[in-house]
Amino acid sequence: GAVVSQHPSRVICKSGTSVKIECRSLDFQATTMFWYRQFPKQSLMLMATSNEGSKATYEQGVEKDKFLINHASLTLSTLTVTSAHPEDSSFYICSARGPDASTDTQYFGPGTRLTVL
Protein backbone atom coordinates (compact mmCIF):
# COMPACT_ATOMS: atom_id res chain seq x y z
CA GLY A 1 0.00 0.00 0.00
CA ALA A 2 0.82 3.73 0.01
CA VAL A 3 2.01 3.95 -3.60
CA VAL A 4 2.59 7.26 -5.34
CA SER A 5 2.92 7.52 -9.10
CA GLN A 6 4.16 10.30 -11.35
CA HIS A 7 3.54 10.93 -15.01
CA PRO A 8 5.41 11.36 -17.22
CA SER A 9 8.65 9.82 -16.04
CA ARG A 10 10.62 11.75 -18.60
CA VAL A 11 9.78 14.75 -20.78
CA ILE A 12 11.72 16.82 -23.28
CA CYS A 13 10.27 20.11 -24.42
CA LYS A 14 11.22 23.25 -26.29
CA SER A 15 12.00 26.47 -24.52
CA GLY A 16 8.89 28.58 -24.00
CA THR A 17 6.43 25.71 -23.78
CA SER A 18 4.57 24.53 -20.68
CA VAL A 19 4.81 21.09 -19.15
CA LYS A 20 2.41 19.42 -16.74
CA ILE A 21 3.53 16.73 -14.30
CA GLU A 22 0.97 14.61 -12.46
CA CYS A 23 1.36 13.07 -9.03
CA ARG A 24 -1.17 10.49 -7.87
CA SER A 25 -1.64 8.59 -4.64
CA LEU A 26 -2.89 5.24 -5.91
CA ASP A 27 -4.30 3.55 -2.86
CA PHE A 28 -4.81 6.25 -0.27
CA GLN A 29 -6.08 9.79 0.02
CA ALA A 30 -3.56 12.54 0.52
CA THR A 31 -4.70 15.94 1.73
CA THR A 32 -1.12 17.15 1.52
CA MET A 33 1.44 16.52 -1.19
CA PHE A 34 4.90 17.98 -1.60
CA TRP A 35 6.88 18.90 -4.68
CA TYR A 36 10.67 18.68 -4.60
CA ARG A 37 13.34 19.48 -7.11
CA GLN A 38 16.65 17.67 -7.32
CA PHE A 39 19.71 18.86 -9.18
CA PRO A 40 22.43 16.40 -10.17
CA LYS A 41 24.40 15.16 -7.18
CA GLN A 42 22.49 17.50 -4.90
CA SER A 43 19.83 17.24 -2.27
CA LEU A 44 16.10 17.33 -2.79
CA MET A 45 14.88 20.88 -2.31
CA LEU A 46 11.30 21.51 -1.30
CA MET A 47 9.49 23.71 -3.81
CA ALA A 48 5.98 23.83 -2.44
CA THR A 49 3.38 22.15 -0.29
CA SER A 50 0.21 21.26 -2.12
CA ASN A 51 -3.01 21.28 -0.12
CA GLU A 52 -6.21 19.75 -1.44
CA GLY A 53 -8.84 22.39 -2.04
CA SER A 54 -6.63 25.38 -1.26
CA LYS A 55 -3.69 27.28 -2.62
CA ALA A 56 -0.24 25.77 -2.51
CA THR A 57 2.36 27.12 -0.13
CA TYR A 58 5.59 27.96 -1.92
CA GLU A 59 9.07 28.02 -0.47
CA GLN A 60 11.08 31.22 -0.54
CA GLY A 61 12.61 31.82 -3.93
CA VAL A 62 10.18 29.61 -5.85
CA GLU A 63 8.12 31.54 -8.40
CA LYS A 64 4.48 30.61 -7.95
CA ASP A 65 3.53 31.98 -11.36
CA LYS A 66 6.13 29.79 -13.02
CA PHE A 67 5.46 26.60 -11.10
CA LEU A 68 1.68 26.26 -10.96
CA ILE A 69 0.37 23.69 -8.53
CA ASN A 70 -3.16 22.37 -8.48
CA HIS A 71 -4.39 19.85 -5.93
CA ALA A 72 -7.84 19.22 -7.34
CA SER A 73 -8.63 15.99 -5.53
CA LEU A 74 -7.45 13.87 -2.64
CA THR A 75 -5.44 11.67 -4.99
CA LEU A 76 -4.05 14.07 -7.59
CA SER A 77 -1.70 17.04 -7.56
CA THR A 78 -0.26 18.60 -10.69
CA LEU A 79 2.79 20.78 -11.23
CA THR A 80 2.86 22.87 -14.38
CA VAL A 81 6.14 24.45 -15.41
CA THR A 82 5.08 27.44 -17.48
CA SER A 83 7.20 28.98 -20.23
CA ALA A 84 9.97 26.52 -19.50
CA HIS A 85 13.60 27.48 -19.99
CA PRO A 86 16.76 25.36 -19.99
CA GLU A 87 17.49 26.33 -16.39
CA ASP A 88 14.24 24.60 -15.40
CA SER A 89 15.72 21.28 -16.49
CA SER A 90 15.79 19.12 -13.42
CA PHE A 91 14.39 16.07 -11.66
CA TYR A 92 11.02 16.79 -10.06
CA ILE A 93 9.76 14.51 -7.30
CA CYS A 94 6.44 14.52 -5.49
CA SER A 95 5.52 12.94 -2.20
CA ALA A 96 2.41 12.45 -0.14
CA ARG A 97 1.89 11.97 3.54
CA GLY A 98 0.71 8.46 4.23
CA PRO A 99 -2.79 7.43 5.23
CA ASP A 100 -1.84 7.40 8.89
CA ALA A 101 -1.97 11.08 9.78
CA SER A 102 -0.23 10.43 13.09
CA THR A 103 3.11 9.69 11.43
CA ASP A 104 5.60 11.86 9.56
CA THR A 105 6.14 9.22 6.91
CA GLN A 106 6.02 10.42 3.34
CA TYR A 107 5.69 8.27 0.25
CA PHE A 108 7.52 9.35 -2.84
CA GLY A 109 6.82 9.12 -6.53
CA PRO A 110 9.55 7.87 -8.88
CA GLY A 111 10.27 11.35 -10.20
CA THR A 112 10.01 13.16 -13.53
CA ARG A 113 13.07 14.20 -15.46
CA LEU A 114 12.44 17.41 -17.36
CA THR A 115 14.80 18.52 -20.12
CA VAL A 116 14.18 21.89 -21.75
CA LEU A 117 15.97 22.43 -25.02
Partner 1 sequence: GNSVTQMEGPVTLSEEAFLTINCTYTATGYPSLFWYVQYPGEGLQLLLKATKADDKGSNKGFEATYRKETTSFHLEKGSVQVSDSAVYFCALSVTGRRALTFGSGTRLQVQP
Closest CA to 75 of 94, 56, 55, 48: 94
Which of 14/41 has CB closer to partner 1?
A: 41
* Chain contacts with partner 1 (rule: CB under 8 A): 4, 6, 32, 34, 36, 41-46, 49, 93, 95, 97, 104-111
Which of 81/93 has CB closer to partner 1?
A: 93
The minimum distance between CB 43 and partner 1, in angstroms, equals: 5
Q: Which residues contact 22 (CB under 8 A, 6 or more apart)?
A: 6, 7, 76, 77, 78
The minimum distance between CB 28 and partner 1, in angstroms, equals: 15
Which of 18/42 has CB closer to partner 1?
A: 42
The minimum distance between CB 47 and partner 1, in angstroms, equals: 10
Which of 13/91 has CB closer to partner 1?
A: 91
The minimum distance between CB 70 and partner 1, in angstroms, equals: 18
